[in-house]
Structure 1
């Protein structure tokens, strides 16, 4: 059973790495443990993926302005530092709500 779990995790992690994923965001606690823990075990065997695993609520917290430390991201087995750095570099981008509101203010948005 453990071998099957590792094989499935490996297949999905390889695909995520090949697609250039910055992180894997999940809402299922069992899935989170599967990918965070098994990726850690695979790395101990020499396979390097470096794909941070986050809960959807972690991503929501970041979007609401909470820090990675406040959300406990430093407690994950796979470090989220590269993802957090990229997230913070995009912080100066227009807020999605501002873009939507600007678009709705224009009559053409309703055409």
Structure 2
């Protein structure tokens, strides 16, 4: 089965509002730099690079909670792709557009 660019799964949702709110909240911790985004979109597979819309570097659980809350509010999916020595999140976990906040 092939999926054309007009297929609903191939349409990219505009997350500019969420990115603006994240930028206001986290400042320089949020990168929109294309090189940084390309680095985070790279895999070691044959798949083409799929850079994220933004890369957010967080320091602790409270920042993770704030970012998740914002992303939930704007229904922006999140992908965790970093070293996690404190095991805050599961590595490589793709989060749905909404998560319960406890």
Structure whose alpha-carbon radius of gyration is higher: 1
Q: TM-score, normalised by structure 2?
A: 0.30
- Richer in helix (by share): 1
Q: Which has the higher contact order (CA 8 A, sep 6+)?
A: 1
TM-score of the superposed pair, with normalisation by structure 1:
0.28
